[in-house]
Amino acid sequence: MLFNYNTEPHNSILIVEDEFIIAADLALSLQRLNYSIAGTAATGMDAISLALEKLPDLIIMDIRLRGEMTGIDAAEIIKGSLDVPIIFLTANSDDATFEKAKSTLPESFIIKPIDIKELNAAIQIALQHSKYNAHIIENDNWLKATLESIDDGIVALNNTGKVKFINRAALNILKYEPDYFNNSDFFRLFNLYSIENNTRIDNLHDDILDNKFIKWDENLFVLDSCNNKKFIRLKASLIHDNRKNISGVLIVFQDITRVKFEEQKAKENADKSERLKTQFISQMSHEIRTPLNNVLTFVSLLKDEFETKLPLGLEDAFTIIDSSSRRLIRTIELLINMSKLQSGNFDVDFQLIDLDSDLLEDLCYTFYPRARNKGLSFHYLKNADNPYIIGDKYSLEHIFNNLIDNAIKYTNEGGVEVVVFNNEEGDIIVEIKDSGIGMSEEFLPVLYTPFSQDSSKNNHELKGTGLGLALVKKYTELNNGSISVKSEAGKGTEFSVIFKAVKEKYRNTN
């Protein structure tokens, strides 16, 4: 009895056999196994014709056929047009015939006389294999279609750098024809350069294989076939086989030339805007400060002449005019300095500075009378063994002038203390402490933001422009220092400014 092993009914099979009786018997046996017979052929030419016409699911091909064309020859021609599994039948199993038949990639060899069970098993395996291959090919086509639709350049290479796949976007970016990279070393033709030093990257393949280049890198450009520069973002990934050995490299790159151009244009526009702003502020400063200085001069003269002759209620008029004019001049200077810092036009002169004798001592001496006139205590404590730093004196003076000025301005009772000392690491720290009105917790996160003000302070005379501490922060960073603050509303404020002290050896050489 013949058993039906066919789980996929009606698979069509083309039989190519020049012995009529064998072909007929084979067809009958296969039909009993629920296969459909696409046809039978006795010659290679008939086999080719029937295969192209009927498109069978499988071909059983005798190697020796009538005429000059062998089954191997016919199989080779059919395979050139159809992806169809072929099982060879042969009565001759010599090595030469076997090797020649292998070149057509058959699914199996059945030695005559035919064992139908063995043949059915071979057919089932071949059909399953064909179905699996068709699935792989379909997925491969889906993948290729997807990769072709992506705007990023994608190149797949084997582990020697030969191109296995390159999509249309990569060719468009590099401006090459599809066959340009065929059988060539991609890395020899891929003219990749570093933006930082403008030098060609020759070891990209080795770096990728050594896991040194598996990332997005935007500091690159390539030269296309017309020698035009294209700025790119590039990422590389390793491809592994089923044994986790490196079998190739996948390179993905994006053309960001337009983005780079727009960034450069935006930077140029921003720089131009900053220059115009600085020029405008400087010009306005000149136009405002000159008449204000004249006002201050003549107010001083008028004060000497008329101070004792003013009507009742106007005794403080000259003081108010002088204070308001100086406040306006200071505001303009803050605006100019902030503009210069933001545009990178602030000139610095770094030198060896003794924070104690070159700066803080004189500042504290200047502020002492003002504190005493408000009824405040004022102390300057010098506890630094090494008060030397490398810094810009102008900006450093503004840092501590602003912090001490604020401490006195916002303190109505108690006092102000300035302390300079070295910590355990040898850094020099300047602390400015006061017992004043302090700052709200909500204000601290935006303390150094330009034009920010503490909404909890109701006295508008004390609020200022909101530029002073923003400049203090920038000046501190300009001198490679850091600043921190502790404050509580109603209980005072403590600023700490930290700089790296200069070593004794360096001081002695200066």
SS3 content of the chain, % helix, strand, coil (to 5): 45, 25, 30
Is 128's pLDDT higher than 50?
Answer: yes
Q: Which of 282, 308, 343 is the endpoint of a domain?
A: 343
Average pLDDT over residues 321-346: 66
Q: Are residues 439 and 306 in the same domain?
A: no
Is 15's pLDDT higher than 70?
Answer: yes
Q: 13 pairs with which residues across the strands?
A: 37, 58
| Confidence label for 298 from pLDDT (cuts 50, 70 and 90) | confident
Q: Are residues 36 and 135 in the same domain?
A: yes
79-115 pLDDT per residue, tens:
888 889 999 988 876 777 777 778 778 888 888 888 8
More confident: 311 or 201: 201
Q: 111 pairs with which residues across the strands?
A: 90
In a domain, 261, yes or no: no
- For residue 315, the model assigns a pLDDT of 58
In a domain, 7, yes or no: no
* Cα dist from 70 to 22, 23, 403, whole Å: 17, 16, 101
- For residue 78, the model assigns a pLDDT of 92
Is 204's pLDDT higher than 80?
Answer: no
In a domain, 503, yes or no: yes
356-369 pLDDT per residue, tens:
889 999 889 988 98
Q: Are residues 420 and 452 in the same domain?
A: yes
Range among 199-203, 444-448, 493-497 with highest mean pLDDT value: 493-497
Task: Report the alpha-carbon distance of residue 179 to residue 163 in Å, rounded.
Answer: 10
- For residue 459, the model assigns a pLDDT of 47
Q: Return the structure tokens found at 20.
A: 């009529």
Pick from 450, 391, 386, 395: nearest CA to 423: 386
The 8-class DSSP code of residue 358 comes to I
| Confidence label for 60 from pLDDT (cuts 50, 70 and 90) | very high
Task: Report the alpha-carbon distance of residue 417 to residue 378 in Å, rounded.
Answer: 6
Q: How many CB atoms lie within 10 A of CB 279?
A: 11
Q: Are residues 367 and 494 in the same domain?
A: yes
Is 338's pLDDT higher than 80?
Answer: no
CATH of the domain at 418: 3.30.565.10
More confident: 215 or 359: 359
Range among 174-178, 294-298, 329-333, 478-482 with highest mean pLDDT value: 478-482
CATH of the domain at 37: 3.40.50.2300
Q: 236 pairs with which residues across the strands?
A: 251
Task: Report the alpha-carbon distance of residue 43 to residue 66 in Å, rounded.
Answer: 5
Average pLDDT over residues 333-347: 65
Q: Return the structure tokens found at 416.
A: 């102000």
Q: Are residues 397 and 490 in the same domain?
A: yes
In a domain, 223, yes or no: yes
Range among 266-270, 371-375, 454-458 with highest mean pLDDT value: 371-375
In a domain, 1, yes or no: no
Mean pLDDT of the residues in the chain: 82
Q: Are residues 228 and 307 in the same domain?
A: no
Q: Are residues 371 and 497 in the same domain?
A: yes
Is 331's pLDDT higher than 90?
Answer: no
Query: If DSSP codes are grouped into helix, strand and coil, which group holds residue 195?
Result: coil
Query: If DSSP codes are grouped into helix, strand and coil, which group holds residue 416?
Result: strand
Q: Return the structure tokens found at 288.
A: 């405002």
**Whether the Cβ atoms of residue 465 and residue 327 lie closer than 8 Å to each other:** no
Q: Are residues 286 and 247 in the same domain?
A: no
Pick from 417, 351, 431, 355: nearest CA to 386: 355
DSSP string, 482-500: EEEEEEETTTEEEEEEEEP
CATH of the domain at 175: 3.30.450.20
In a domain, 250, yes or no: yes
Average pLDDT over residues 19-30: 91
277-286 pLDDT per residue, tens:
667 766 666 6
Q: Are residues 287 and 384 in the same domain?
A: no
Q: Which of 107, 126, 143 is the endpoint of a domain?
A: 143
Q: Are residues 88 and 178 in the same domain?
A: no
More confident: 268 or 230: 230
- For residue 1, the model assigns a pLDDT of 35
| Confidence label for 377 from pLDDT (cuts 50, 70 and 90) | very high
Q: Which of 302, 317, 343 is the endpoint of a domain?
A: 343
Domain count, the chain: 4
| Confidence label for 161 from pLDDT (cuts 50, 70 and 90) | confident
Structural domain boundaries, residue 322: 268-343
| Confidence label for 505 from pLDDT (cuts 50, 70 and 90) | very low
- For residue 4, the model assigns a pLDDT of 45
In a domain, 2, yes or no: no
Average pLDDT over residues 112-125: 89
In a domain, 481, yes or no: yes
| Confidence label for 408 from pLDDT (cuts 50, 70 and 90) | very high
Q: Are residues 501 and 356 in the same domain?
A: yes
Q: Are residues 78 and 223 in the same domain?
A: no
